[in-house]
Structure 1
């Protein structure tokens, strides 16, 4: 794994985003480094979706700085982010369920051959199988419709696709949100595999139990602001859970329920 002395691939400082008079983000500072996983945690309404849209180039930030490889950027579309090696795998994955795995792997970027520019199907099938194998994904048949794969397997195909097409930073939008325990474990293993291949990973999640095993850095958001930004050595799993759950508020609620004669 890369040490913390490595220059950040992405560095945001006092990042903010407003929509008219609505403040969606303010004062967000964190880094994404090669060979590390930066976990962005928060409950619903914490600002995770806005933050990911800014990182992915879908929305331009309103204040602060967003630097890639030390150069400040103002991106106006996801294509700008892709050109810098920043790929985003959104929760809905944007796959075509009835198409085979290899077609989805190359969707929109199909290689062609010969004077008639025919699809190079053999190359696509071979490359898909090899790239999935390199990530530790052993599919029985890349001809099977991607819709027949489990949710975890589809997430892993999307991760492998982003790696193949040159991503240096991989942003994952709640990849384990709709998955069971076993499938979540599969996705977390492939997040670790992407890190070991030297990518910088941004893992967006509301689940600290999924974030802590793979995370190297943790940014916790609440109501559009950062309430903590810690390296793994600086925070325990229990402390992360407490930050996420609003420990003080839950303790106050527990005491209130204990005093309420109508409870229990």
Structure 2
């Protein structure tokens, strides 16, 4: 089932066309990687989907009906969660406090027990390697911090999770840990949009790769049957680009 579909999305900033007639489709239980060079429109696309920017034209279809996303709260309510590259974690707070920051449980006072139980439930969904939920985030590795940010995105039971450069600046072991989390999201039925520059990571975990070039679609590829060289050619415009799988 197609959970999210973009049709002809356009976004201009003055005379600059950031996105022009961009199409994208994500099914439940599918990982779609969006790749492109700097300035290709990836960040703008993320901000359109997360409610930061409103598109100037085009349609966003969610679970079969056309919707608008006027702000981040609307995206969250709709079922779209975004984990930005900076993760937006508070290093002086522990895992529980970060997971529930702004969404604390308890009508009159904080329900620490309920929040701890729910924290472990969220982490177990991801088979996460977090030793203790009362550790400050400052004591965690980069991969574990990404885990906390992804777990926090699950609080609202989203249908689509957007991950902005989830493996940037991570070491080999931490990258493998994050890619395993993405596999777990797919297994749990979430649609995942993964923004990335790393072709090896994309081919390791994505089902489909959407290439953006200069704010336009420049190919849709099967991740497992497409080489990194083909993807780079599409990103740079160095060769002919087959397009498959973009639904109208």
Contact 2:34–2:42 (8 Å) recurs in 1: yes
The 3-state SS of whatever aligns with 1:178 is coil
77, 96, 100: which one aligns with 2:94: 100
Contact 2:40–2:213 (8 Å) recurs in 1: yes
Tell me whether 140-149 or 98-107 shows the greater mean CA deviation: 140-149
Q: Say whether 1:58 aligns with 2:52.
A: yes
RMSD between aligned residues? 1.6
Q: Which residue of 2 aligns with 1:256?
A: none
Q: Distance in 2 between matches of 1:246 and 1:151?
A: 33
Displacement of 1:235 in angstroms is: 3.1
1:233-252 equivalences under 5 Å are 235-244=226-235, 246-247=237-238
Q: Distance in 1 between matches of 2:203 and 2:158?
A: 23
Distance 1:20 1:246, change over 3 A: closer
Q: Say whether 1:190 aligns with 2:184.
A: no
Q: Distance in 2 between matches of 1:82 and 1:182?
A: 31
Q: Distance in 1 between matches of 2:197 and 2:36?
A: 5
1:67-146 equivalences under 5 Å are 67-112=61-106, 117-146=108-137
Q: Which residue of 1 aligns with 2:151?
A: 160
The 3-state SS of whatever aligns with 1:112 is coil
Q: Say whether 1:231 aligns with 2:225.
A: no
Q: Which residue of 2 aligns with 1:14?
A: 8
Point out where structure 2 has 5 or more consecutive residues left out of the alignment: 240-248
Displacement of 1:164 in angstroms is: 3.1
The 3-state SS of whatever aligns with 1:211 is helix
CA deviations on 1:183-209 (whole Å, 9 max, x unpaired) are 111111101100100000000011111
1:175-214 equivalences under 5 Å are 175-214=166-205
The 3-state SS of whatever aligns with 1:27 is strand
24, 39, 42: which one aligns with 1:45: 39
The 3-state SS of whatever aligns with 2:51 is coil
Q: Distance in 2 between matches of 1:126 and 1:165?
A: 16
The 3-state SS of whatever aligns with 2:11 is strand
Tell me whether 44-53 or 121-130 shows the greater mean CA deviation: 121-130
Larger Rg: 1
Displacement of 1:15 in angstroms is: 1.1
Point out where structure 1 has 5 or more consecutive residues left out of the alignment: 1-5, 249-264
Contact 2:162–2:194 (8 Å) recurs in 1: yes
Tell me whether 136-145 or 233-242 shows the greater mean CA deviation: 233-242
What TM-score, normalized by structure 2, do the two folds share? 0.91
TM superposition outliers: structure 1 runs of 4+ over 6 Å:
none
